[in-house]
Amino acid sequence: MQDAQQQRIRLPELRNRITSAEHAASWIEDGMTIGMSGFTRAGDAKVVPLAIAERARAEQLKITLMTGASLGSDIDKTLTEAGAMSRRMPFQADPTLRAAINRGEVMYVDQHLSETVEQLRTRQINAIDIAIIEAVAITETGAIIPTTSVGNSASFAILADQVIVEINLTQSMELEGLHDIFIPKHRPQREPIPLMSAHDRIGTTAIMIPPEKIVAIVITQKEDSASTILPPDAETAQIAAHLVDFFKEEVRDGRLTNHLMPMQAGIGTIANAVMSGFLDSPFEHLTMYSEVLQDSTFDLFDAGKLDFASGSSITLSAEKSKAVLSDIGRYKDRLVLRPQEVSNHPEVIRRLGIIAINTALEVDIYGNVNSTHVLGTHMMNGIGGSGDFARNAYLSVFATKSTAKNGNISSIVPMVTHVDHSEHDVDIIVTEVGLADLRGLAPRERAQKIIHHCVPAPYRQMLLDYLSEAETRGGQTPHVLEKTFSWHTRYRETGSMLEETAVLKAVA
Amino acid sequence: MQDAQQQRIRLPELRNRITSAEHAASWIEDGMTIGMSGFTRAGDAKVVPLAIAERARAEQLKITLMTGASLGSDIDKTLTEAGAMSRRMPFQADPTLRAAINRGEVMYVDQHLSETVEQLRTRQINAIDIAIIEAVAITETGAIIPTTSVGNSASFAILADQVIVEINLTQSMELEGLHDIFIPKHRPQREPIPLMSAHDRIGTTAIMIPPEKIVAIVITQKEDSASTILPPDAETAQIAAHLVDFFKEEVRDGRLTNHLMPMQAGIGTIANAVMSGFLDSPFEHLTMYSEVLQDSTFDLFDAGKLDFASGSSITLSAEKSKAVLSDIGRYKDRLVLRPQEVSNHPEVIRRLGIIAINTALEVDIYGNVNSTHVLGTHMMNGIGGSGDFARNAYLSVFATKSTAKNGNISSIVPMVTHVDHSEHDVDIIVTEVGLADLRGLAPRERAQKIIHHCVPAPYRQMLLDYLSEAETRGGQTPHVLEKTFSWHTRYRETGSMLEETAVLKAVA
Ligand SMILES: CC(C)(COP(=O)(O)OP(=O)(O)OC[C@H]1O[C@@H](n2cnc3c(N)ncnc32)[C@H](O)[C@@H]1OP(=O)(O)O)[C@@H](O)C(=O)NCCC(=O)NCCS
Ligand SMILES: CC(C)(COP(=O)(O)OP(=O)(O)OC[C@H]1O[C@@H](n2cnc3c(N)ncnc32)[C@H](O)[C@@H]1OP(=O)(O)O)[C@@H](O)C(=O)NCCC(=O)NCCS
C-alpha cells in the first residue's frame, strides 16, 4: 500500500490529502454543481458519489450532476433513489434515473456531447463547483492521469475550484500514456485543432491543474461496470451484412478504398454488432475515430482488421474487459483516448471524413430519426454524440431493427414522434430487411426507397397506403397530419401498431 | 466594347469564345447536371439559363440544377415553366418553383449549404457536367472573378468538365479583390481551414481553372434582382429591441463584451430587421461572419457600428444596391465574400463563436424549430445555412412573429409539424412578445419559459392547457400525441388555429 501510494501519488505533498470517501463527500454542499468523470460506464468515480448519496439520505443535499456520458456502478440509480439528483446533464442510461426523469422529478438536459464544456467555458450554464475524477495516478507535478475514459474530466478539473481524485488501484498503471488531453483556447485566441488523422497526438498524457486544487484523494478498488450490450443475433448480423455489401459496392464504384474511411460506431447492442460484421469483410487497415470503444473494436484489432482506434472511453463486457484491460500494453500503440470535445468535434469529424454508424429507435418514411424518445415523450438515454457525428460525417448511417416489442412496434413509421436527426443528416437507413441509400434524393423518393428496402410486411403495405393518401394532399414532404401518429396512439391503446385487419392477416 | 473586352477578358485567347446566350445554351444536353452561380438573388448567371428555358420549350431538355442558393432574374420560375427543371438543389425561394416542388413535379433536395460541394467532391451525388458562372472579368491566367456572390461557383467551375462564363458589364470592376477563394483539399490530405477571424484572407481573389475548360463566354448587361424583403415594422422592431436588451444583460453579466461576438443573420425580412436593431444599440466594433449580407449590413457600416463583414453574397434592395454597388470601393477593405463551404463551415463557425440569428416559421413549446415546411408538408424555401450556423454557434437565436396570417396561425405550437432544428440547437426564442432564454434548461422548463415569454393571449392559455394535459401523461418531453397537430388540422378546416370559444372571447 505504501508502494502503491508512492507509485500512484507521485507528488509527495499530495499524499496527506488521502482521506475516506465519507470525508471527501463532506466537501459537497446542497445546491452545488458537481462534475464527475465517467463515460458510458467507464472511468467513473465510484465511491465518493455513493458517499454523497449516503449523506443525502440523512440531510437536504441536492446536486446538479454533469458527467462525460452515462455512469456505471449504479451511481445514477443510487443518487436518484437518495433524492440527491436535481439536475443531470449531458447523458444518462440508467433505468431508475430514466424513470425519475420521465416523472419530471429530475431535470435532464440532454446535450450534444461536444458542447457541454463549450457552454461551461463561456459560463452559459452553471459553473462546476467541485470535480470528482477517477485516476490511475497523480504525476510528479500534480497532473491527473485518467483511467478508462476521458470524457469531460479534463475541463471539469480545470474549471472547478476544487477537485477530488479517486485513485483506482484496479486500473492498470499501463493506462498511463494512453490519453491525449487537448484543451482549446478561449476565443478569440482559439486556433484550429491540429488533428489530421485518427492517430495524431496533440496534447498531454495527463490533466494539468494546480495541485493545490486537489482537496481530497480517495483510494478505491472497484472495477468499472461491465457493458450491458447483448451479443449479435440473427437480425443484427443481417444488418451488418447489408452494410458490408453496401461498402463493397462503394469500393467497386471507386468512391472508397478498401480501407474505407475512419469509422464511428454509436453505443448499444446494434452498433457493436454492426462493427463485428466487419470481421468477415474484405476491408483492411481500418481505423476508428469514435467515442466509445466497445468489444468489437478489440475483436477487430485481434483479427488484424483494425489499425488504430481513437475514442473517449473503453466500455467492455466482463469477459472482454478481463482480456483487454489486464493486457492493455498490447494495444497501447494502436489506441488513444481523448476529451469528448475532441473525439466529437465537428471540425475534426468533417475534416477526417467519418463514416458514422448510429442507432435509431424509430425512423420515418422521409428518413428523419428518433434516437431518444419512446412514443415521442419518454426519454430512453439521450442524443449523446450521435448528432455531432451524423451532422458532420462523410456518410451518416442509421441502423435499427425493423420492428420492436415482438413486432408490435414498427421502427419505420409515417412520422417520427421526436426528431433527433433530420433527414438532412441521414444518408443510409439499414434494417435486417435491407438498406436504403438516400443520397441525393428528394423526400418523396426517399420514402419509396425506405419503404421498399427496409420495411417487412404487413407494415410495408400500411406505409405505402399512408404515403399514397399523403401524396394526394401534396407538398415536398406529404403527410396526413391527423393520421401521422395514429400508429403510436393505436399502440398505446391496443398494444400493437398493427391495424386489426393486418393482425388478422398476419395470424391467418 | 473593345475596351471593355480587353479589360474584362484579359487572357486574349479566350476572346474568341465570346458567343450568344443561345449558342452557349446549345452545350447543354438533356439529362445533364448544371451548376450555376447565384446565392440569394446575387451573382446569378442571367442569360444562358433563360436561353436553356427557351430551348426546353421547343425540345426535350430536362436538367438537374445546382446553385449556391436562391436565384433572381426569374430563372427558377422560367426554367420551371418551360419544363426544364427536373431536380433542384440545395436551396430555392421562388413561388413558381415552390409550387411545382409541392406538386411533386420537381424533385427538390434541400441541403445544409455547407455540404453540397463535399458531396460533389466525393462523388456521392451526380457530377456537374457544365458550370455557368457570372463573372466581373477573366484574368490574365483565365481565372474567373465572381460578382456579388461566391456560393458554390468555385467548386462548380473546378469540378465541371466545361464552364460557360457570363461577363456582366453592369457589375463594377471594383468587385475584383473582394473575394477570397479557398478550396479544401481532398481527404486524407485535408488540413485545418486557417481562418482565425472574420477578416482573415486565406485564398485567392479569383477562381483558378485551366482556361481551356471555358467553352463559351457571353457578355450581359442585366443587373442583379433586388431583394424582396420588407422594411422593419413595429413587430420586428420589438423583436430587435428584446434581443438588444438580452445582449445588454449578457454584457452586464460579463459573458460578452460590447463588441459581442461575430454575428450571422439569416435571410428574409425578420433577420434583416433584427440586424437593423443594432443601429440603436450601445454595441460597437461589431463584426459579421455570415452568409448573405443584406441592407442592414451596410446601414451598420454607415453608422460606424460594424467593423467588418464576411459573407458569401451581397443581396440588397433596389435603392441600397444603387448606393452600395456603384461605390463598392468605399466598403471593400471591410468586406470579403467566400465560398459557402467556408462561410458556413462548422469548423470555422465553432472556432469563431458565432452569434447566429435565424428565423422560424413555427416553434414548439420545447424549442424545436420548423423553418421550412408550412403545415408540415409544403416547402417554403429550404433549410439553407440555418443548420450550419445554429448547430455550431456560440449562441443560437431563432426569431419569429408570434402569429401569422392575421393571428389565425400561432407560430408557437404544441409540436412543430416539421423539425429543422432540434431543441439542442436552439438557445433563444424571441417574438415581439418577448424573449425566452433556454440555456441549461430541461424541456419542461423550456416550455414554461417559451409560453410565458413569447406567446400572446389567447394562444398562451391554450398552450398552458395543452402542457398541463401532456404532463399528466409524463415523459421528458410530455405530449398528448392525438392532439399535437390538432391546431394545424383546425387551421386547415376552419381557417384558424383558435378554438371556437377562444375566437368568441377574442371578438368579445
Ligand atoms: C437508440 C438506442 C436506445 C438503441 O440501443 P440498442 O441497444 O442498440 O438497441 P435495441 O434494439 O436493443 O433497443 C433498445 C431498447 O429500445 C426498444 N425499442 C427499440 N425500438 C423502439 C421503438 N421504436 N419504440 C419503443 N421502443 C423501442 C427495444 O425494444 C429495447 O427495449 P428493451 O431494452 O426493453 O429490450 C441507443 O443506441 C441509444 O441510446 N442511442 C442514442 C445515443 C447515441 O446514438 N449515441 C451514439 C453516440 S454516443
Ligand atoms: C422562415 C422564413 C421563411 C421567414 O422569412 P421572413 O421573410 O423573415 O418572415 P415572414 O414573417 O415575413 O414570413 C414569410 C411568410 O411565411 C408566412 N408564415 C410565417 N409563419 C408561418 C406559419 N407558422 N405558418 C404558415 N405560414 C407562416 C408569413 O405569413 C409570410 O407569408 P407571406 O409571404 O405570404 O406574407 C425565412 O427566414 C426562411 O426561409 N428561412 C429558412 C432558411 C434560413 O434560415 N436561411 C438562413 C441562413 S441561409
Is there an atom of ligand 2 within 6 Å of B272 CB?
no
Give the pLDDT band (50/70/90) at residue B268.
Answer: confident
Predicted confidence band of residue B502 (pLDDT cuts 50, 70, 90)? low
User: What is the signed CA dihedral for B35, B40, B42, B46, rounded to 10 degrees?
Assistant: 50
Identify which of B41, B380, B383, B488 to mutate to test ligand 2's pocket (most ligand atoms within 8 A of the CB): B380
Q: What DSSP character marks residue A40?
A: T
Nearest CA owner, ligand 1 atom 25:
A374
CB of B145 within 8 A of CB of B135? yes
Which of A197, A259, A372, A377 to mutate to test binding with chain B, by most B CBs within 10 Å of its CB? A377
Classify residue B367 as left (phi > 0), alpha (psi -120 to 50) or beta.
left
Predicted local distance difference test score (pLDDT) of residue B508: 46
Q: Is the ipTM of this complex over 0.90?
A: yes
Q: Answer yes or no: is the C-beta of A364 below 6 A from any ligand 1 atom.
A: no
B165-186 mean pLDDT: 97
Q: Which residue of A has its CA nearest to B116?
A: A440
pLDDT of residue A63: 98
Splitting chain A (508 residues) into consecutive groups of 10 residues, what average pLDDT does each group show? Answer: 85 97 98 98 98 98 98 97 98 98 98 98 97 98 98 98 97 96 96 98 98 98 91 94 98 98 94 93 98 96 98 96 92 97 98 98 98 98 98 98 98 98 98 98 98 98 98 98 97 93 55
CB of B379 closer than 6 angstroms to any ligand 2 atom: no
Report d(CA B380, CA B374) in Å as an integer.
7
Of A103, A346, A439, the CB nearest to B125: A439
pLDDT tens profile B21-72: 999 999 999 999 999 999 999 999 999 999 999 999 999 999 999 999 999 9
User: Against a cut of 0.90, is the pTM above it?
Assistant: yes
How far lies B137's CA from each of A37, A477, B141, B213, B313, in Å? 58, 41, 11, 16, 17
Say if the Cβ atoms of B424 and A387 lie within 8 Å: yes
Q: Burial of A113 by CB count in 10 Å (0-12 exposed, 13-18 middle, 19+ buried)? A: buried
| Lookup: cell for A249 | 459496392
Please report the pLDDT score of residue A505 as a whole number: 55
Nearest CA to ligand 1 atom 34: A405
Mutant choice from B246, B345, B377, B490 vs A, greatest count of A C-beta within 10 A = B377
Question: What pLDDT does residue A370 have?
Answer: 98
The residue whose CA has the least distance to atom 13 of ligand 2 is: B361
Atom of ligand 1 nearest to the CA of A271: 8
| The three-state (H, E, C) secondary structure of B488-507, written as one string | HHHHHHHCCCCCHHHHHHHH
Residues of chain A found within 8 Å of residue B119, distances taken between Cβ atoms: 439-440
B405 lines ligand 2 (CB under 6 A): yes
Residue of B257, B389, B481, B491 best to disrupt the A interface, most CBs of A under 10 A? B481
3-state SS track over B103-145: CCCCEECCCCCCCHHHHHHCCCCCCCCEEEEEEEEECCCCCEE
Q: Which of A107, A373, A488 sits opposite B442 (nearest CB)?
A: A107
**Among A221, A227, A222, A223, residue whose Cα is nearest residue A315:** A227
The pLDDT tens digits of the residues spanning B464-497 come to 999 999 999 999 999 999 999 999 999 999 999 9
Angle at the Cα of A239 from the Cα atoms of A273 and A342, rounded to 5 degrees? 55
Q: Ligand 2: distance of its center to the CA of B114 in Å?
A: 21
**Predicted local distance difference test score (pLDDT) of residue B189:** 95
Identify all chain B residues contacting A378, using CB atoms and an 8 Å cutoff.
474-476
Q: Which residues contact A1 (CB under 8 A, 6 or more apart)?
A: none
Residue A118 host element (H or E): helix A116-121
Radius of gyration of chain B (CA): 23
Question: Best of B361, B412, B413 to mutate for ligand 2, by most ligand atoms within 8 A of CB?
Answer: B361
- Residue A360 CA to ligand 1 center (angstroms) comes to 7
Residue B123: closest CA among chain A residues belongs to which residue? A255
Confidence of residue B499 (pLDDT cuts 50, 70, 90): confident
Distance of CA B62 to the CA centre of its chain: 26
C-alpha cell at B176: 475584383
A388, closest residue in chain B (CA to CA): B391
The Cα diameter of chain B in Å comes to 78
Active site residues of B: 291
> How many angstroms from the chain centroid is the CA of residue B90?
10
Residues from chain B that touch A254, judged by Cβ atoms under 8 A, are 123
CB A138 less than 6 A from any atom of ligand 1 = no
